[in-house]
Amino acid sequence: MAYDERVRDLFQPLTVRSLTIRNRFAMAPMTRGASPGGIPGADVAAYYARRAAGGVGLIITEGVRLAEPEAGYPAAVPTMAGEQALAGWRAVTKAVHGHGGAIAAQLWHQGAERRDSDGVGAVSPSGVNSAGQPAGRALRTHELAGVADSYAQAARNARDVGFDAVELHGAHGYLLDEFLWANTNLRTDEYGGDMAGRTRFPAEVVAAVRAAVGPDFPIIFRFSQWKQTNYAASIAADPAELQELLSPLVDAGVDVLHPSTRRHYKPAFPDSDSDLTLAGWTKKVTGVPVIAVGSVGLETEFTPGSPGGPIPPAPVDQLLDQYGSGEFDVIAIGRALLADPTWVNRLRDDSLDGFQGFDAATALAQLS
């Protein structure tokens, strides 16, 4: 296949506030559970550094737990609190920067999806998980400010140990998403009800993070329609609702939006536009930079809970079409980077002919 010259367009830098990335490629956040006691070690630094060396412009880390025990499980998920964990993250950011990459910490509160195997109960908007089952307890109104402060402290810590940005995980049925989705937010106070009520707490978290990190440090917000238990879920039924959902987050201080989809090319609202994706609609209704994601370089979509495979490689023609039409500013890559940390450089150099795609054995090796 002839080299598509449009690939070169994806190797232009992008600046958002204090962050400049060398190209339009990000590493998508993927949970590893490889930080015993929540402390990222030398292997974590090497894992991310390999992808930076392979050409990725922006690394977005796996989900990083907030300080409170109820925020996440198991303990091998890294945290952004405590001297040892912060020292580990300093080594990670130094390693990534050493290869010319930038790095964002994804801050994660699991909400009602937190397992209770260690005896710690989950907290969430209404004590209901994304499958509609009782799980843990509902957060009391007076507790919400403390949760927002926990996000803010984690973001401040991330900035202080060398991260270039933070991403707030508001997708896939976790805490912030549970506030946004009517099926998991059954509250009757000012943090529930209509879209304005459901976006109130996530926007307050964004505002608290902005106050903690200052005016120049970038804040990314990841959201999704789908949940781990329901691929057909929807928090916005049409573009108008999408704008109503996202505008308060942008007003509160979000600089970049990261709509998580399982296929980057799938139209979001076919009745309104037969082609425009969720990334494209997100950019259209907000005007802020957007990160697209979903099955880049591979034939089939991601299935949570299973590495899947073998999955053959796929061309990037649709990706180039979307970028050329202005649907996104950065493209995040997940499984292709697990299979080959040099995927970005190989795309640049037109040397992907030997790329074998993705299989479970490769994924397990890369996650170890």
Residue type, 43: D
pLDDT, tens digit (0-9, with 9 covering 90-100), for 33-56? 999 999 999 999 999 999 999 999
Answer left, alpha or beta for residue 348, where phi above 0 means left and psi between -120 and 50 means alpha. Answer: alpha
**Active-site annotation holds for 174:** yes
Q: pLDDT at position 309, please?
A: 59
Q: pLDDT at position 356, please?
A: 87
pLDDT, tens digit (0-9, with 9 covering 90-100), for 163-206? 999 999 999 999 999 999 999 999 999 999 999 999 999 999 99
How many percent of the chain have pLDDT more than 90? 91
Q: Are 320 and 7 in contact (CB under 8 A)?
A: yes
* Gyration radius (Cα) of the chain, Å: 19
Measuring CA to CA, which residue among 60, 51, 19, 66 is closest to residue 209?
66
Low-confidence ranges of the chain (pLDDT < 50): 368
Residue type, 314: A
Number of compact structural domains in the chain: 1
The parent domain of residue 171 ranges over: 5-367
Measuring CA to CA, which residue among 218, 76, 74, 234 is closest to residue 158?
218
Q: Kindly name the residue from 73, 174, 191, 265 that is annotated as catalytic.
A: 174
The C-alpha angle with vertex 109 and arms to 108 and 114, in degrees rounded to 5, equals 120
Q: pTM of the full predicted structure? A: 0.96
CA–CA dist 88, 101 (Å, integer): 18
CATH code for the domain in which residue 313 is found: 3.20.20.70
- Number of neighbouring beta carbons within 10 Å of residue 211: 14
Q: pLDDT at position 368, please?
A: 46
